[in-house]
Chain A
């Protein structure tokens, strides 16, 4: 089992480290020779045009896919080497937010968020407490008994974020979480991610949204054709 929280408690050490990582699909490079380090508690934007490799990078971090070459170290563990049986335990420490929310239509807001804790084997009592706390945090507690189709886009994304953070992960990966939202709602989601980051959670967000990136003034890693084109602290997306 990968123990991220304990190992990454030192502020100076890298929480996430990509070392000469390449990913090929067939003969085409989706990522090529990526080297980067992300510290615990950082908020990092991954930007770049469609096909630049943003989603591939995030999918490697969730161990959905393996890189063709290189090492990806989270905490002190090379996640390309972890056994299949340890992947579920590893994933419980990485929260994921998707552009299309990926909520289960036949479950209420409460049930969608509770799913994270159910798969972790938490008791019903503990699950109920943690879900209530998280739904109040993202301000959708009053919608807990509604189904996703009864929610607005912003509320759906808040539910998805609640599901990602209810298990108190060390890292939150957000793959274009504002892509399907209007600007005002998108800002609400960004403020929520910013707040989550303020508790010490590392946040990696892939986005196309220039306004958000430029307003927040956080670290920006720009990908272009699978390579890192730039990596700037308090960067801009131009």
Chain B
């Protein structure tokens, strides 16, 4: 094995530009792959967050009694489409307001519990259940206003779908492209080393002794590209986390979980070994006649 590695290192060292080109192609492929995976995972978590959050908010009119609210809450809990209800009193609303604006004392001074309405947050089984529940609530005499963040969920659902389709197609295309590039580079190396291969054969080298360094070389390019892409994407994600989290608001996505990033690295390395291994194996089968 050590000799195979030594021969692989020699192959790489003697043709550095091809090695850099192959690693760069793999790097770009895996950078794209990771970008799409991170986007897909992020949008999925965001979508889940919105799906799990109270999606319909019903604001009560002034003077609504606790009994009216309890009656409405009990009626909603009979609905199979409703998973959870949560009453937010005027004081709770003020607390939420204070938490959100704790850095802006001017805004805090102007608001008291009296001007904030009490509300009921209702979670549903699916985003499709939101509108029917909203319609029911609008007919209630104690309800002054109903907010349905259905659009956000719909936008996120379609964005997630687009990311999956476009990302998936791009990644599949790039993986095929990277496999072909590895195949081409290893094939080219086999051709320029044909004299050496011929001599090794005559000296009694076994087919695996000749083939294995080429296969390992393809895997090496894959792993190099994947690791570099992972380091860059992790660094970018870490660097821009405070900025991006500002946009995400309550959706707690960043900083990315180290476990998720490790799983991403593991997945990438597996794919890199497959792409590099398959590309070089096909090249060896096609161009190396032993």
Which A residues contact B (CB, under 8 angstroms)? Answer: 62, 64, 88-92, 96, 102, 104, 106, 115-116, 118-121, 163, 167
A119 touches B14 (CB 8 A): no
CA distance A92 to B205 in the complex (A): 8
A118-B3 CB under 8 A given contacts A102-B199, A104-B196, A106-B14: yes
What CA separation (Å) do A89 and B201 show in the bound complex?
10
A91 touching B195, Cβ below 8 Å: no
Identify the 5 closest CB pairs spanning chains A and B, nearest first.
Answer: A92-B204, A119-B205, A91-B204, A88-B206, A88-B204
Kindly list chain B residues whose C-beta atoms are within 8 Å of the C-beta of A167. 203-204
- Within the assembled complex, what's the spacing in Å between the Cα atoms of A92 and B200? 10
Whether B14 pairs with A116 at a CB distance below 8 angstroms is no
Residue of B14, B204, B205, B206 ringed by the most chain A CB atoms within 10 A: B204
Interface residues of B (CB under 8 A from A): 3, 14, 195-196, 198-207, 209
B202 pairs with A92, CB closer than 8 A:
no
**What B residues does A88 contact at CB under 8 A?**
201, 204-207, 209
Contact between chains at A119 and B209 (CB < 8 Å):
yes
Other-chain residue from A62, A106, A121 in contact with B202 (beta carbon distance below 8 A): A62
Measured between beta carbons, the chain A residues less than 8 angstroms from B200 are 115, 119
Give the distance in Å from the alpha carbon of A89 to the alpha carbon of B202 in the complex. 10
Q: Whole-angstrom distance between the alpha carbons of A106 and B7 in the complex?
A: 13
Q: Which residues of chain A come closer than 8 Å to B203, judged between CB atoms? A: 91-92, 115-116, 119, 163, 167
CB of A104 within 8 A of CB of B3, answer no
Report how far A52 CA is from B196 CA in the complex, Å.
Answer: 28
Contact between chains at B199 and A115 (CB < 8 Å)? yes
A to B CB contacts below 8 Å, 12 in the list: A88-B207, A88-B209, A91-B202, A102-B195, A102-B199, A104-B199, A115-B199, A115-B200, A115-B203, A116-B204, A119-B200, A119-B209
- Beta-carbon nearest neighbor of A89 in chain B: B204
- Name the CB-closest residue of B to A116: B203
Q: Which residue on chain A has the smallest CB distance to residue B14? A: A106
Measured between alpha carbons, how far is A118 from B206 in the docked complex, in Å?
A: 11
The residues of A that contact B201 with a CB separation of less than 8 Å are 88, 91
Please state if B204 and A119 are interface contacts (CB–CB under 8 Å). yes
- Interchain CA distance A119-B3 in the complex, whole Å: 9
Min CB distance B210 to A, Å, is: 9
Point out the residues of chain B lying under 8 angstroms from A62, CB to CB. 202
Q: Is the CB of B202 within 8 A of A64?
A: yes
Q: What is the distance, in angstroms, from A160's C-beta to the closest C-beta of chain B? A: 10
Cα A39 to Cα B207 with chains together (Å): 31
Q: Which residues of B contact A106 (CB under 8 A)?
A: 14
* Least Cβ–Cβ distance between A60 and chain B, in angstroms: 13
Min CB gap B261→A, angstroms:
40
- Distance in angstroms between the alpha carbons of A104 and B3 in the assembled complex: 17
Residues of A within 8 A of B204 (CB): 88-92, 116, 119-120, 167
Q: Cβ of A104: which chain B residues have Cβ within 8 Å of it? A: 195-196, 199
Q: How far is the CA of A136 from the CA of B220 in the complex (A)?
A: 38
* Nearest neighbor of A62 in chain B, beta-carbon distance: B202
- Residues on A with beta carbons closer than 8 Å to the beta carbon of B14: 106
Residues of chain A within 8 A of B209, CB atoms compared: 88, 119
Q: How far is the CA of A89 from the CA of B209 in the complex (A)?
A: 13
> Which residue from chain B places its CB closest to the CB of A169 in the assembled complex?
B204
- Measured CB to CB, the nearest residue on chain B to A106 is B14
Q: A205 to chain B: closest CB distance in Å?
A: 17
Contacts of B202 in A (CB 8 A): 62, 64, 91, 96
A210–B204 Cα distance when bound, in Å, is 32
Q: Which residue of chain B lies nearest to A111 when distances are taken between CB atoms in the complex?
A: B10
Question: In the assembly, what is the distance between CA of A116 and CA of B199, in Å?
Answer: 9
Point out the residues of chain B lying under 8 angstroms from A119, CB to CB. 200, 203-206, 209
Residue of A nearest to B210 (CB): A119
- B-side contacts of A64, CB under 8 Å: 202
Chain B nearest CB from A131 CB (Å) reads: 13
Min CB gap A191→B, angstroms: 24
How many Å from the CB of B154 to the closest CB on chain A?
A: 62
Q: Please, which residues of chain A bring their CB within 8 A of the CB of B207?
A: 88
CA distance A202 to B196 in the complex (A): 26
In the bound complex, what is the Cα–Cα distance between A64 and B206 (angstroms)?
Answer: 14
Which B residues touch A96, using CB under 8 A? 202
Residue of A nearest to B208 (CB): A88
Name the B residues within 8 Å of A116 (CB-CB). Answer: 203-204
